[in-house]
Amino acid sequence: MKIKTQDFRVPAGNTVDLAQWPTRVKPAYASKKQYHKRLDEQVEELSSLQRLHYASNRYAVLLIFQGMDAAGKDGAIRQIMSGVNPQGCQVFSFKEPSAEERDHDFLWRTTCRLPERGRIGIFNRSYYEEVLIVRVHPELLRGQGLPDDALDEATIWKERYRSIVDLEAHLHRNGTRIIKVFLHQSEDEQRQRFLARIDSPEKNWKFGGADIEERKLWTDYMKAYEACLSATSTADAPWYVVPADDKKNARLIISEIMLDVFNGLKMTFPKPTAKRRRELQVIRKTLVK
């Protein structure tokens, strides 16, 4: 089955109701063997495009992953980026902000980690946590030392959405292409994955008591995600709602989205000048001798 990435893209200006977006779709593979074959092909093509991307040094690509606990963010990053040269890829995971980070504006700590031209940057969670977990837990705002007039519940989220959209528009104008993926899993699938983490000793480290407490707030998180996706999916930096109950299929969809973005860039290998070609020929003659 051919993957149509536009089926998962949130059109700019649309109001998102996650109940209308599936957490599972017909898989793009018929067997485990076919899945591995297709993913290997995608990874190989992505690796080739990444080398061209690195050499051309014209654009930066930022891949943002968001999703509930156990949505498959780590596995997707590991599998999809398995064939990419580590020199051209940077992965950052954003946890609870440090004291230094809380003393800056909410975009500061991620802005410091933006990818350079020619590289792929991957954010495992991102500045979007500041309109997701912080919205579900507004008490976290009080620990950020913000002035009182910045804490108005009637305006703070709209203002933060505007700051994010403005940042992403600025980055796009300056050559950064942003791919935003929300891994959309069902509440029952998360339950199954939590049970697997408890039942498998080698996965126990992945599970903590806080995961269960956050799970109790599922409805609040879905509302926060709906508001966020609706307000920040733009033509230049769209959100993709990727069905995540089937991890294998989610990885195929994400890698196809990345290939679409890379293939849409005008990239070429640098062409040597006439002077450089003459220098190379002199060097070649020396090597032949």
Look at the chain and report how many structural domains it folds into.
Answer: 1
> Mean pLDDT per segment of 10 residues, for the chain of length 289 residues?
93 97 97 96 96 96 97 95 89 91 94 96 97 94 83 90 98 98 98 92 81 94 98 98 98 97 93 89 91
Of 173, 161, 174, nearest to 239 (Cα)? 161
Q: Quick one: pLDDT at residue 144?
A: 86
pTM of the predicted protein model: 0.93
pLDDT at 149: 81
> By residue range, what is the domain housing residue 211?
5-288
* Tokens encoding 30: 């018929």
Count Cβ atoms below 10 Å from residue 275 Cβ, excluding itself. 8
User: What's residue 44's pLDDT?
Assistant: 96
DSSP assignment of 255-287: HHHHHHHHHTS---PPPPPHHHHHHHHHHHHHH
Specify whether the CB–CB gap between 253 and 242 falls below 8 A.
yes
Q: State how far the Cα of 264 lies from the Cα of 200, in Å rounded to an integer.
A: 42
Cβ atoms of 267 and 61 closer than 8 Å: no
CATH assignment at residue 177: 3.40.50.300
What pLDDT score does 239 carry? 98
Q: How far is CA 188 from CA 110, 123, 149, 185, 276, in A?
A: 32, 26, 40, 8, 61
Q: What local confidence, expressed as pLDDT, does residue 131 receive? A: 97
Residue written as tokens 């992945």?
A: 206
pLDDT of residue 268: 92
Q: How far is CA 231 from the centre of its chain?
A: 17
